[in-house]
Amino acid sequence: MSENYNDNKIIQAQSSETVSAGGSGATPDIDYVRPAEVLEQDLYHGHSFITKWVFCQDAKVIGIQYFLLATFTGIIGLILSWLMRLQLGYPELAGFMTAEHYYQFVTMHGMIMVVYFLTALFLGGFGNYLIPLMTGARDMVFPYVNMVSFWMFFVAVMVLMASFFVPGGPTGAGWTLYPPQAILEGTPGSGMGIILMLVSLVLFVIGFTMGGLNYLITVLQSRTRGMTLMRLPLSVWGIFTATILAMLAFPALLVGGLMLVLDTILGTSFFMPTILKAGEVLEYGGGSPILFQHLFWFFGHPEVYIVALPAFGIVSDLISVHARKNIFGYRMMVWAIVAIGGLSFFVWAHHMYVSGMNPWFGFFFASTTLIIAVPTAMKVYNWILTLWRGNIRMNVVMLWCLGFILTFVNGGITGLFLGNVTVDVPLSDTYFVIAHFHMVMGIAPLMVIMGAVYHWFPLVSGRMLSEKLGKWHFWVTFLGAYSIYFPMHYLGFIGVPRRYFEMYDSPYVTSAVGMNEFISMAAFLVGAAQFILIYNIIKSLKTGKLAGKNPWKANSLEWFTPTVPPEHGNWGNKLPIVYRWPYDYSVPGAKEDFIPQTTPPSKVSDTEVEKT
């Protein structure tokens, strides 16, 4: 193998199949690709408004539906965060808000942003839109199930929203929903609120499973001719691995949720120890509260990577396209994604250092946690090395990518603080934690989402977004987000506890008040800046510059559909054939600085392409 490899490392524009499969004749056909294995997919084409836009079986429409609904819930999450910041920065203006309201807003903000916004947006939104296009499939493999998946998500969101209107309001137990307090009287929303939250989560998991099976099988079993796994864009790799994580992590949430529902409704004591309340012993007894924490975080930690891995993948593609360079260390990037995904199942208890579990247990989880830093750092180096001496286009997409790298490194480094037991214990439940996870899994993935929106909007709509508005949007968001979360590290160091409605007469007050006002101002500004994007989208849909085909001069398949935006079935009469990876940018000897995946070797025989 090794000798062959050396010979073929720089080959005359051939691909791996051409060497092995076409070598029978005297002059092998270098454009040979194996014939199709799988029969053409039958698709159900919608013919009315309802089947085309509502109960649609086209993955692209389902992706947009996911995107819009997730954005809608995200805006609600944003408004909740405004209300929280109003209370923290200017309590005198927030007289309408009680402590109960504040806890409910904290809880709903957290759950909405993590599950119903980021997870749904990355996997449901980008996953549905990009996977079939990037793998060269006509659609997802089970379009009907895919459609049901979105409507399950819709019902889950509606149930979640309904909890705002039930007696007692939504649950205020914190997004981790820890029992016993989550279901005991005294916690806001301990009756209907928590039940609806758990029911909504169960529905979300069921709906997601339907979608997730589709994403996985489409990547594994329905790629186009010539598309090997190692020629997939990293976006697909990120979404694919995140989906595997979700398929294995959501079960723990489902089980924990069901047990907590039973504790609430039937009065079982899975998680409920003997409890004294106002001198009275409650009916509960003998359960294990820490069991819920284990179940929750066995879901909760992979969940972080369910959000992060698609972001890693997408940002790799965006950087490569807009730096006009192949992604540095593609294979290592793939293996890093897989390694991070695998390791993420062995770190969950680092969220529980102060939970009362055996401290030695904590040190094991500290080690695994720090090991994750290795593949993650590798990815960061590779992004930077991709930029290194690239032909960088400083457009809005690139700005978001650079913003991502900065915020992600920042949040990652504070992760090293919190991953160590001895450093974590004093920092637990302070604003340092808030700063850390908002940087690393709030702002950083959001930067990628924004970059991806500016990047793929021309494909979805056929028109470009305004660069000028985009730059305003970026700079306000980026500088504003730093102004919000950077001071929070300091608040954490001086010991300001998180989730507190107000600081009362604590010694932090004098130094924290001014800072809280500043953070709140920044939060209002950053939130408002997001409406620039909405305005930009609405305006550009009507009057934006026409994009035409492949406006970014990208290589990956989604830009090579016969029509822009692509129609149902994606590829017209003929499926594309793939000859190379999607990163042949600035190839020496090539006429243009990009060689699309569909370009056969014979067309570029005088260039030095790498073997992929």
Partner 1 sequence: MSDPKIEGYDFKPGFRGLAQDAGSDQTMFKGVHWGKAMMWIFLLSDTFIFSCFLISYMKGRGSTPAEWPNPSEVFALHVGGVSVPLLLIAIMTFVLITSSGTMALAVKYGYERNRKMCGWLILATALGGLTFVGMQAFEWSKLIHEGVRPWTNPFGAPQFGSFFFMITGFHGTHVSIGVIFLSIYAYKTFAGHYDTGKRGWFTTIKGDYVEIEILGLYWHFVDLVWVFIFAFFYLW
- Name the site residues for partner 1 (rule: CB under 8 A): 17, 21, 33-38, 42-44, 141-144, 209, 213, 216-217, 220-231, 247-248, 250-252, 254-256, 258-259, 262, 266-270, 283, 285-288, 291, 294-295, 298, 578
Length of the chain: 612
Q: Which helix (H) or strand (E) is 529 found in, with range?
A: helix 509-543
What is the H or E stretch that residue 10 is in? strand 10-11
Q: Helix, strand or coil for residue 477?
A: helix
Element housing 609 (H / E): strand 609-610
- Tokens for 234, please give them: 């990293």
Least distance in angstroms from the C-beta of 298 to partner 1: 8
| Sequence letter at residue 585 | Y
Supply φ then ψ for residue 466, to 5 degrees. -70, 125
Any residues with CB less than 8 A from the CB of 199 and at least 6 apart, and which?
159, 261
In the complex, the smallest distance separating the C-beta of residue 568 from partner 1, rounded to whole angstroms, is 12
Give the nearer residue to partner 1 in terms of CB position, either 298 or 353. Answer: 298
Pairing state of beta strands 609-610 and 280-281?
Answer: unpaired
Task: Tell me the closest approach of the beta carbon of residue 315 to partner 1, in angstroms.
Answer: 26
> Nearest approach, Cβ of 612 to partner 1 (angstroms)?
11
Per the omega criterion (within 30 degrees of 0), is the bond before 91 cis?
no
Return the number of the residue (11 or 248) whose C-beta is nearest partner 1.
248
- Phi/psi region, residue 570 (left: phi>0; alpha: psi -120 to 50; beta: rest), is left
Q: Which CB atom, from 219 or from 323, has the smaller least distance to partner 1?
A: 219
Query: Measured from the CB atom, is 208 or 457 closer to partner 1?
Result: 208
Give the shortest CB-23-to-partner 1 separation in angstroms.
12
Whole-angstrom Cα distance, residue 242 to residue 257?
21
> Which residue, 35 or 95, has its beta carbon nearer to partner 1?
35
**Nearest distance, CB of residue 80 and partner 1, angstroms:** 30
Nearer CB in complex with partner 1: 30/450: 30
Q: Which is nearer to partner 1, 138 or 473 (CB)?
A: 138
Take residue 362 and report the two structure tokens written for it.
């904590």
CB of 352 to partner 1, least distance (A): 14
Please answer whether residues 316 and 384 qualify as being in contact, where contact means their C-beta atoms are separated by less than 8 angstroms. Answer: no
Nearer to partner 1 (CB atom), residue 263 or residue 424: 263
584: exposed, middle or buried (Cβ count in 10 Å: 0-12, 13-18, 19+): buried
Considering the complex, what minimum distance in angstroms separates the CB of residue 41 from partner 1? 8
